[in-house]
Structure 1
Amino acid sequence: MNKRLISEIGNLVDGKLSAPEIEKLVRFMNRKSLKGLEEDREAFFKHLAREMRQEMKELAELIVEFKRDFQSRIHPEITELRTTYIPQAADQLEGIIESTEQAANRIMDNLEGMQRLTEEAMEALAGVRRQLVEREAASGPQARGEAQDLGGRIDSLRQSLERCLLLIGDSFEKMSFQDLTGQRIKRTIDLVNLMEERIQKTLLSFGLKVTEKTYNPEISGEDLASTVEKKLSDLRGPQRPGQGLNQADIDKLLARL
């Protein structure tokens, strides 16, 4: 490459420069060329570094903005769901069970009273019917006719009372719906309580991770997961005095999100 360049320069200067002078000129041009390449390369990497810094800055701003948005909007809604709406739903369902149970018990008491009064009325009618038969046997034709007519009315009334007893018995059977309804609502309450527990665990896990990462930025992902799981396990099962997390600890963790 240099020989060709020396030859071309020699032709251009037409013998005005000696061979050593031409070689010096070529070396000078090579140094300038290399220096220019280095400067271009350095400028390229500086520009690339500036672009990367700007991109990282924008990414960091997005993360901060996301966290701020989560704190100001998402977290309060989830917390309100856990602390207000789910407990209220469970309380309302429990109130429904209590109300339906009280109403069912009151209806059962009323039906039992109606059944008892109907049975007493039937016994009284049976006694009147027996007395009427006895008088009919000892009376004349006109009295027997009146007794028979009255006996027919008594029999009709007795049949009506028997139908009342059948309806009361059927009502007793139908009142078993309260047990089935109570069981279904109880399962719904269990589901609501499970949802509350899962949401609380999710919030606590997130809060613990943020807290641990804040106080120990160098902690590894594996150690962070292990630490959070250990603290979450303190919330489960019986706890000794002075150990585990109480409700105040939980509220503090949630407040730090």
Structure 2
Amino acid sequence: MAASIEQARREVAALRPKDAGSNRLEIASNELDAIVSTTERASFDILQSAERLMDIGNRLRQSGGRDDICDAMEAEVMSIFTACSFQDLTGQRTSKVVNALRYVEQRVSAMLSIWNLEGVEGVQAAADTRPDAHLLGGPRSDGVNQDDVDALMSGATIIQTPTPAPAAETAKPAPAAARPVPLDQSAIDNLFD
């Protein structure tokens, strides 16, 4: 029984990172919070654009536009409204996961404190050997470069540019980042052939 207790102490101590900035549970919670925030912001922008399209359709109808086209446009806008309801549901579910992670983090901290493991040295967390471990860092929290988005929206295409490899020694190289390149009209036409 003493060996089991000692093994449990070592496992719990391994959960506590050497430096405060590498707490896996806190990082996971923060990343999930960022996902909720980003999808909420994107959904809001999509819904605002859909509302503007609805207004444009109404003005088109009032100015004598064809009813069949106005009806089709209105139906598509309503589909956008319906599709964006995902954000509220996923946001609620993700918030529940974040709360669960924070609860586990609090319980682990309490166990470390009870067992006086705050200052335990020499206990290493097991290396993450999953094949996708190098992907788990996710995107930077500061989001996509607005210049890249603007270039893409103004008719640019994306080409691959190399990015630095992940910091972990066992990590596979990350996919290359994309950079926009302007398209001419024939290149755009070829997309639809």
- Looking at structure 2, the residues matched to 194 and 75 of structure 1 have their Cα atoms a distance apart, in angstroms, of 15
Alignment of 1:77 with 2:14, yes or no, is yes
Q: Are residues 82 and 111 of structure 1, via their aligned partners in 2, closer, same or farther at CA, if it must alter by over 3 Å?
A: farther
- Looking at structure 2, the residues matched to 192 and 120 of structure 1 have their Cα atoms a distance apart, in angstroms, of 49
1:200 positional shift: 0.7
Greater fraction strand: 2
Equivalent of 2:35 in 90, 93, 96: 96
Pairs aligned (count): 117
- Whichever residue aligns with residue 112 of structure 2, its letter is L
State the partner residue of 1:173: 82
1:173 positional shift: 2.1
- Tell me: higher relative CO, structure 1 or 2? Use CA pairs within 8 A at least 6 residues apart: 2
Identity of aligned residues (%): 20
Structure 1 gap segments, 5+ residues each: 1-61, 127-156, 208-252
Q: Are residues 82 and 169 of structure 1, via their aligned partners in 2, closer, same or farther at CA, if it must alter by over 3 Å?
A: farther
- Looking at structure 2, the residues matched to 178 and 81 of structure 1 have their Cα atoms a distance apart, in angstroms, of 36
Report if aligned partners of 2:13, 2:112 keep a CA contact under 8 Å in 1. no
Report if aligned partners of 2:12, 2:108 keep a CA contact under 8 Å in 1. no
1:161 positional shift: 1.5
Q: Are residues 108 and 98 of structure 1, via their aligned partners in 2, closer, same or farther at CA, if it must alter by over 3 Å?
A: same
State the partner residue of 2:114: 205
- Whichever residue aligns with residue 161 of structure 1, its letter is C
State the partner residue of 1:255: 119
Equivalent of 1:117 in 52, 56, 59: 56
* CA RMSD across the alignment: 3.0
Structure 1 segments (4+ residues) deviating >4 Å: 73-76
Q: Map Cα deviations across residues 128-181 of structure 1 (whole Å, 9 max, x no partner).
A: xxxxxxxxxxxxxxxxxxxxxxxxxxxxx3201111101211221221111100
State the partner residue of 1:23: none
Q: Map Cα deviations across residues 39-84 of structure 1 (whole Å, 9 max, x no partner).
A: xxxxxxxxxxxxxxxxxxxxxxx98xx97x998x646521129951
Give the alignment's TM-score, normalised by structure 2.
0.53
Greater fraction helix: 1
- Whichever residue aligns with residue 186 of structure 1, its letter is S
1:1-257 aligned at under 5 Å gives the runs 74=11, 76-80=13-17, 83=20, 84-125=23-64, 157-207=66-116, 254-255=118-119
